[in-house]
Structure 1
Amino acid sequence: MPDQGGSRQNITFPSGGRQAHGYLARPPQGVGPGLVVVQEWWGLTPYLADVADRFAAEGFTALAPDLFGGATTHDSAEGARLKRELPVEQAVRDLGGAVDLLLGLDGVVGDAVGVVGFCMGGGFALLLAAAEGDRVAAAVPFYGLPPDPDFEYRGLTAHVLGHYGEEDQYIPMAAVDEAAIRIGEATDVRPEFHFYPAGHAFMNEENVLGTYDPLQAAIAWKRTMAFLWGHLG
């Protein structure tokens, strides 16, 4: 069953002719690059909102869209169901609406944003970058790939940094290598993919899967900050 209490929402924005919701976190100085933060299959949980806050503390205007319309869970079977029932096109539209919102906000600098996604959100980070072209300058998937393994990545111009676990039971290393090849064949982008001695969701401090690895998480976070500031700063 979904968790009681729903998701962390504090903003509503137009997307594809409907209203989408999300969590917006602004940097202390009030000015910074825009960053879309894409949820795992747990939904827009308080933890994911805390991740957006963490990006904001680093200087980004971070927006985490709520792709599940308020539903959250800490049950893997329920998370898989929510992911399975989420229309991919609708999710990409909502994420595109998040890009529109960020680029229109006072205090967001630059004419392109970054996107960071975790698990399910990692795949959507790549889908969004392909859909939005040069409006997304940097894409960082954490242990996620598009649901269609034959996705062609046409339209993707963003720099790509990916983080994947060598012991991931959901995404094999061969699938990551294949995605890198497909990106290189379809675009001028040469993705930078890192593999860590860790399992799936090694960044998630809630440790729902029992795979959180603070050391590897710290390394991936440091690489992510350098990458985002290098392409958005």
Structure 2
Amino acid sequence: MAIPLLLLGASAQAAVVTEEVRYQLDGQSYLGYLAYDDSLPAPLPGVLVVHEWWGHNDYVRQRADMLAELGYAALALDMYGDGRNTEHPSEAGEFAKASLASLPLAERRFNAARDWLAAHPRVDDGRIAAIGYCYGGGVVLHMARAGAELKAVASFHGSLAPLADPLPAGSPVRIAVFNGAADPLVPAEQVAAFRQEMDAAGADYLLVDYPGALHAFTNPRADSVAAEFNMPLGYDAQADKDSWLQLQAFLHESLE
């Protein structure tokens, strides 16, 4: 399918505006980052962007900016509260574990951001998708399995194992997974089990395995982090580029 030039970020009139936003849940403040092209007529399709386990940082904001350039209203959300983030893996692991200790609370955190985006005057509340990276990839897959009000979700190098119940049969959510075939954190057995789960549910899904790609293959900082902390991470420019192009087609088909 040919992708409109707008979805390739080729609009000469692009006027992306960005802003930090705050939303609340149970008295806790959460930090969001909204990006959209205000030269485009409203309403725009919306995309939630869920951060890696490092938390709400510049990388997730960069991805929101890239989505805005494609014609979406993108909200980089906050699963930890107060925009908490870190550059040390031990602290990141603690943040991630704590945020998923109560899945009902994690779902409410995600849905608070979804509801905020859906209520924005520039957004079409019937056309909302979510994408996530690493930790965030697992989160968006969980939200699809949990029946969140989303048209589609896309996971980049995220865990594929269900956090709770598998995807129910007949789920209307379209699913895309971009995985590193050499990622030791997502072994082949997990990929095979995910395929079985999707097939059993009759899901509309795409799974792309990039040969030789490691965990965090979309993040240019992965190599330096791997060297500093001896972690099995690695940036793969080709897989990063291809997965982003495939995401564009996937979102266009899902939110048109």
Per-residue CA distance 1:131-184 (angstroms, 9 max, x = gap): 344x21111011113664663223842111100011102111220221221233
Per-residue CA distance 1:36-95 (angstroms, 9 max, x = gap): 101100101112111111111111111111112232122222211211121333222111
User: Which range moves more in the overlay, 192-201 or 71-80?
Assistant: 71-80
1:78 to 1:18, Cα distance in 2 relative to 1, 3 A: closer
Q: Which residue is 1:221 aligned to? A: 244
User: Which range moves more in the overlay, 46-55 or 219-228?
Assistant: 46-55
Alignment size in residue pairs: 224
Tell me which amino acid in the other structure corresponds to 2:52.
E
Query: Do residues 12 (structure 1) and 22 (structure 2) align?
Result: yes
1:101 to 1:150, Cα distance in 2 relative to 1, 3 A: closer
User: Which range moves more in the overlay, 119-128 or 142-151?
Assistant: 142-151
How far off its partner does 1:103 sit? 1.6
Which whole-Å CA distance do the structure 2 matches of 1:220 and 1:84 have between them? 27
Q: Which runs of 5+ in 1 are unaligned?
A: 1-8
Which whole-Å CA distance do the structure 1 matches of 2:63 and 2:252 have between them? 17
Q: Which residue is 1:21 aligned to? A: 31
Which whole-Å CA distance do the structure 1 matches of 2:126 and 2:60 have between them? 25
Query: Are the counterparts in 2 of residues 28 and 57 from structure 1 also a CA contact under 8 Å?
Result: no
How big is the alpha-carbon RMSD for the aligned residues of Structure 1 and Structure 2?
Answer: 2.3
Answer with 1 or 2: which has the greater Rg: 2
Q: Which residue is 1:168 aligned to? A: 183
Q: Which residue is 1:141 aligned to? A: 155
Please state whether the residue corresponding to 1:26 is helix, strand or coil: strand
Q: Which residue is 1:94 aligned to? A: 109
The counterpart of 1:48, out of the listed 60, 65, 72, is 60
**Identical residues among aligned pairs (%):** 28
Q: Which runs of 5+ in 2 are unaligned?
A: 1-18, 227-232
Which whole-Å CA distance do the structure 2 matches of 1:17 and 1:184 have between them? 41
